[in-house]
Structure 1
Amino acid sequence: MQVTPTPQAPRALIIGAGIAGLACAVRLRAAGYQVTVLERHAQPGGKIRTVPSAAGPIDAGPTVLTMRHVFDDLFATLGQRLDDHVNLVQQDLLARHFWPDGSTLDLCRDEGRNVEAVRRFAGNRSAAQFQRFSRRTQRLFAAFDQPMMQAADPRLATLTTTVLKQPGLIPAMAPLSTLRGMLRTAFDDPRLRQLFGRYATYVGGSPTHAPGLLSLIWQAEAAGVWVVQGGMHRLVGALSAVLRTHDVNIRTNAHVARVEIQDERAAALCLEDGTRLPCDVLVHAGDPRALATGALGPALRHIAQVTTQVPRSFSARVLSFAATPGRADLAHHNVFFQGDAEGEFRDLMAGRIPAHPSYYICALDRGQGTDPPPVERFEIITNAPATDDTTDPEDLTQWLHQITQQMAHFGMTFSPTPTVQTVTTPQAFARMFPASLGALYGQSPHGTFAALKRPRARTSISNLYLAGGGTHPGAGVPMATLSARHAVEAILNDQTSMSPSAPTATRGGMSTA
């Protein structure tokens, strides 16, 4: 569907060409807006980024898609099919897990096979516990999907009503328990508690402090995982290409200096090179903490103030490199756990680089139905605390030697061995994404009501809206993409109520009612 802007079409400016900014551009363009996206880096994508290698571009951010329906819906907004733009390979094997004692556990997309895998791994009692855990998390995901994730402005009162209407949901939530505490009652085997506790790290938190409700993240993965052939950056490339064919202007190397406010509305963006861009609607699709800290002008310091008052999520040290692995039994997703399940999180909560971290290893060229090449592309992620320091750490050589030796205990070696030049640190993330403090997931997910404290799409400035992983419904590629839908639905509702001539939308789930 080609949408041609009319001379009277409202002008929408979007700050940030990460997945949320691009998704906002798709939905606003479908609604008839003139859209310009401004990206401070040389390429769109935000945290969906790559580093070069002799084997080709290597992902240095998200590695797979879950909640595929979110992206099918996004492309359909402009009359496109996701499958016409990227090749997606659904993974039968969701993740392969390794422990220091030599035990391994594969989890796949079939629950019955998972039950049998757990039975072989830890016995009949653990298999029964897994079945109960799976039913419990299915119920939680179904209960909170619509009133929380799909809702643009979730309210505690609405969530309370949802809970009270479903007897037995409160015990399933374990409202007074951390994820660690909930898993202690769910599983006898400490390895299974360790495995499902790691889902707290998907949103930058610790199972020792995150609420038990986060156990439902398992269901987002169990419902399906897809690999984008060539890497996640292919999704960004596809969205960018579709937008350009629909006359959306994506300006890279565009540094926004400040937002110009007139009559309590965002009137224009002023770039560092002196360019002034007027707007009718402005979407900030970066970390909202940038507004609260005055990075885009003192007039916006009152926006998203909560981001300066609550702790930040974890960050990571990320290795992206090409090599030949020393063991052949890797899947696309691999997790290597350490024996001390809680030591890593004690270090992280104390603001220290973990002495004995677990490793997430993505073998980017596997899980695609073909044999991997002799030299493969890898992304290794270890948790690290966020930091306000933007200078390079001095311990990288020692740290890399240490974790290389720790991985070797699993038989996990690489030729050539990765070097410090392959590492992206929290300090580097802090430089790339100003005001983020290097946190990869925005605010910390710790605390019973942490999810309700995230900034929403609407702000106190009537034509300024927020989107991205730092806003509701949260971090991760699907959640950030959903945030764009929430922002554009708010825009269309607000613009329609203020101006009968504003464009309307009937596609992609957007409503102007």
Structure 2
Amino acid sequence: MPDGRVIVIGAGIGGLTSAALLAARGCDVTVVEAADTPGGKVRAIDVGGRMVEAGPTVFTLREIFEEVFGECGASLDDHVVTQRADILARHAWREQRLDLYADRQASEDAIGAFAGAAEARGYRDFSAEARRLYDALDRPFLRRTKTDPLTLGWRMGVGGLRDYATLRPYSSMWRALGGYFADPRLRQLFARYATYCGSSPFRTPATLMLIAHVEARGVWLIEGGLSALASALEGLAKRQGARFRYAAPVSRIVVDNGRAAGVELASGERISADSVVCNADPAALGDGRFGVTATRRVPPASRSLGALVWLANVQSDGFPLTRHNVFFSSDYPSEFAALHAGRQPDDPTVYVCAQDRAANEGQIDGPERLQIIVNAPATGDRAGPSPQEIERCQHAMRTRLSQAGLSVDWTAPTKLLTPHDFERLCPSTGGALYGRASHGWAASFLRQGSRTRIPGLYCAGGSTHPGAGVPMAALSGRLAADCLLRDRASTFAWTRAAMPGGTSTRRAETVATG
């Protein structure tokens, strides 16, 4: 018989992962989701009669999902069709182009041809440093519950003391990259990895250079996009016995005797549970959107970036698009200074995901699906961006693509998503897509952890520890499930050990660790 009733709020990647793992471990799991489909930010929207991926597009750390499926007695390959990309991304500065490859030697050779032998050596040294940082933090930080600096050092152990002392938290990524690359284009290229967690390379610790190694380990293309991965995780959870209720928004989390005891839906229906996993943004919990204040508030100044996202089904020509393409601005410092000031940059960097292209495809005959992203301030709960700002940004975006040689038929169907739309999707965020920004040495320790201030209430999702992105969201779901099961086990053990007349101690589940 199922052991322990669990409500999972939200069918994003973190919630789906928690649901599958908890159901596989014997819990009675019900997932309640406000939308009509699984995925959360991972979703597709109809544009001109075709479904265009509107959320994350880069799939890395495939092994995390292989592990999740394996723990549920299944295989990832049996549920999604994937192809490893030969080209990680194509980068353009007007007419100049540079590809990074899955084969690191090919990337080094391409950089050498693009910028000279010294820059190729700089890339080799940078890659080694990014790998060192990733290896140092993978097990003790990314795959463990949220910690503090002292505990992280203890987890890394004696053998990791050298790495712990050189994690580079006090130098910005931009400054550190200057030690590897004299060419400003390459410094700009590798600084862009800070935006993978919605942050500025001028304010992000150099520690996050590890993100470059994550991508260098492999980028995978999923048939059907990441929406297909969300559907596969939903099916996995269902096969373990989890139940799903869609179009079922939660109005409040029920707390009885100081402990999470279920949820109340907007319809008024109450669903009881022994534990609750919340896959909403922790900012919503901090603002009391669910009737409880279970996490710290995230001040607007601490939010990550939002975005203006154009979804298109258009004919293109000229520039040879691959799946992932980046068209860089001519002035990176000015671009991020504007974003920091809450304004749209006059000259933004543009990302284009050409969803109908594999990494090695040539020109497509006919309309193709494009997702076009420009970074934006997370002001979706306030006035901006104004229609005038959006119009100027759209003009700048089209100009940037045209300067690189990409011709697009803009008369074809398109749809624009703004921070206002993302605020509606994820309330209390202002449209920030990655939770709290990774600015300053302590930022990674300030992210919400798996546990909250309310016993029995846990957090999962890309805005919680260990960080932003689809693989990190899955890790957060696993951590939430592990914490829930450990807390319940320790409670049972405490109950069995209690004897009449003995001295009772505080249960482990009541410790505030938000």
TM-score in same-fold range (> 0.5): yes
Change (3 A) 1:37 1:391: farther
CA contact 1:97–1:104 (8 Å) conserved in 2: yes
1:385 has 2:372 as partner: no
Corresponding position of 1:487: 480
1:140 and 2:133 equivalent? yes
How far 1:310 moved relative to its partner?
6.1
Which residue of 1 is the match for residue 502 of structure 2? Answer: none
d(CA) in 2 for partners of 1:172, 1:417:
52
Q: Residue 58 of structure 1 aligns to a residue in which SS?
A: strand
| 8 Å Cα contact 2:322/2:361 also seen in 1 | no
Equivalent pair of 1:365/1:373 in contact (CA under 8 Å): no
2:222 equivalent to 1:231? no
Q: Which residue of 2 aligns with 1:304?
A: 295
Q: CA deviation at 1:398?
A: 4.2
Letter in 2 for 1:181: R
Matching of residue 347 in structure 1 with residue 341 in structure 2 = no
The answer for the alignment partner of 1:15 in structure 2 is 9
The Cα shift of 1:15 comes to: 0.6
Tell whether 2:427 aligns with 1:434: yes
- The verdict on how the C-alpha distance between 1:382 and 1:392 changes in structure 2, with shifts beyond 3 A counting, is closer
Shift in Å at residue 406 of structure 1?
2.9
Cα 1:362–1:457, aligned 2, differ >3 Å: closer, same or farther? same
Asked if residue 80 in structure 1 is aligned to residue 71 in structure 2, the reply is no
Give the match's secondary structure for 1:192.
helix
**Which segments of 5 or more consecutive residues in structure 1 lack a partner in the other structure?**
1-5, 503-513
In structure 1, the partner of 2:273 is: 279
Residue 202 (structure 1) shift? 0.3
Which residue of the partner structure matches residue 261 of structure 1?
255
Shift of 1:165: 4.4
Aligned residue number for residue 374 of structure 1: 366
Residues 390 and 431 of structure 1 are in contact (CA less than 8 Å); yes or no, is this contact kept in structure 2? no
Separation (CA, whole Å) in 2 of partners of 1:91 and 1:210: 28
Distance in 1, Cα, partners of 2:48 & 2:297: 44
Q: Residues 136-215 of structure 1 correspond to what in structure 2 (within 5 A)?
A: 136-161=129-154, 162=156, 165-166=159-160, 169=163, 173-215=167-209
After alignment, is 219-228 or 244-253 more displaced? 244-253
Moved more, 426-435 or 239-248: 239-248
Query: How far is the alpha carbon of 1:13 from its aligned partner?
Result: 0.2
Gaps of 5+ in 2: 496-514
Q: How much does 1:464 deviate?
A: 0.8
Amino acid paired to 1:360: Y
Assess if the C-alpha contact under 8 Å between 1:54 and 1:322 holds in 2: yes
Structure 2 residue corresponding to 1:465, chosen from 458, 477, 482: 458
Question: Residue by residue, what CA displacement relative to the aligned partner does 1:187-207 show, whole Å, maximum 9, x if unpaired?
Answer: 111011000000000000001
SS at match of 2:366: coil
SS in 2 for 1:269: strand
Q: Give the distance between the partners of 1:184 and 1:11, measured in 2 at CA.
A: 53
Query: Per-residue deviation at 1:49?
Result: 1.1
Aligned to 2:396: 402
The structural deviation recorded for 1:234 is: 0.7
> 2:21 and 2:493 mapped to 1: Cα distance?
19
Letter aligned with residue 200 of structure 2: S
Aligned residue in 2 for 1:115? 108
Does structure 2 conserve the Cα–Cα contact (< 8 Å) formed by 1:290 and 1:436? yes
Root-mean-square deviation over aligned CA pairs? 2.1
Alignment of 1:23-42 (within 5 A): 23-42=17-36
Deviations 1:159-196 (A, max 9, x none): 33549745764785333211111111221110110000
Q: Residues 94-150 of structure 1: CA distance to partner in whole angstroms, max 9, x if unpaired?
A: 0111012x2211111111111111110100111111111111111111111111101
Q: Does 1:58 align with 2:58?
A: no
Amino acid at match of 1:359: V
Matched residue SS, 1:117: helix
Mapped to 2, the partners of 1:69 and 1:438 lie a distance apart of: 30
* 8 A Cα contact 1:306 1:453, kept in partner: no
TM-score, length of structure 1 as denominator length = 0.91
Shift of 1:250: 1.2
Is the 8 Å Cα contact of residues 390 and 427 (structure 1) preserved in structure 2? no
The amino acid that maps onto 2:421 is A
Structure 2 Cα separation of the partners of residues 23 and 166 of structure 1: 30
Percent identical across equivalent pairs?
38
- Write the distance in 2 (CA, Å) between the matches of 1:261 and 1:200: 38
Whole-angstrom distance in 1 between the partners of 2:424 and 2:127: 40
Q: Match of 2:342, as an amino acid?
A: G
Letter in 1 for 2:145: A
CA distance in 1 between partners of 2:454 and 2:321 (Å): 50
Query: Which whole-Å CA distance do the structure 2 matches of 1:209 and 1:157 have between them?
Result: 23
For 1:3, the equivalent position in structure 2 comes to: none
Partner of 1:326: 317
SS in 2 for 1:261: strand
Q: Offset of 1:53 from its aligned partner?
A: 2.7
- Which residue does the alignment assign to 2:92? 98
Residue matched to 1:451: 444
Q: CA deviation at 1:392?
A: 7.6
CA contact (8 A) 1:361 1:380 kept: yes
Would you say the 8 A contact 2:259–2:455 is kept in 1?
yes
Shift of 1:404: 1.5
Aligned partner letter, 1:136: E
Aligned to 1:505: none
Counterpart contact for 1:198–1:207, Cα < 8 Å: yes
Partners of 2:33 and 2:384 lie apart in 1 by 23
Q: Distance in 1 between matches of 2:300 and 2:403?
A: 42
**Does the 8 Å contact 2:354/2:371 carry over to 1?**
yes
Q: Assess if the C-alpha contact under 8 Å between 2:355 and 2:370 holds in 1.
A: yes
Letter in 1 for 2:369: R
Tell me if structure 1 keeps the 8 A contact 2:153–2:161: no
* Residues 418-458 of structure 1, C-alpha deviations (whole Å, 9 max, x = no match): 66x51110111001111121100000110011001111111
Mapped to 1, the partners of 2:17 and 2:494 lie a distance apart of 24
Partner of 2:216: 222
Give the number of equivalent residue pairs: 491
Letter in 2 for 1:343: S
Q: Which residue of 1 aligns with 2:235?
A: 241
Distance, in Å, in 2 between the alignment partners of 1:373 and 1:229 is 19
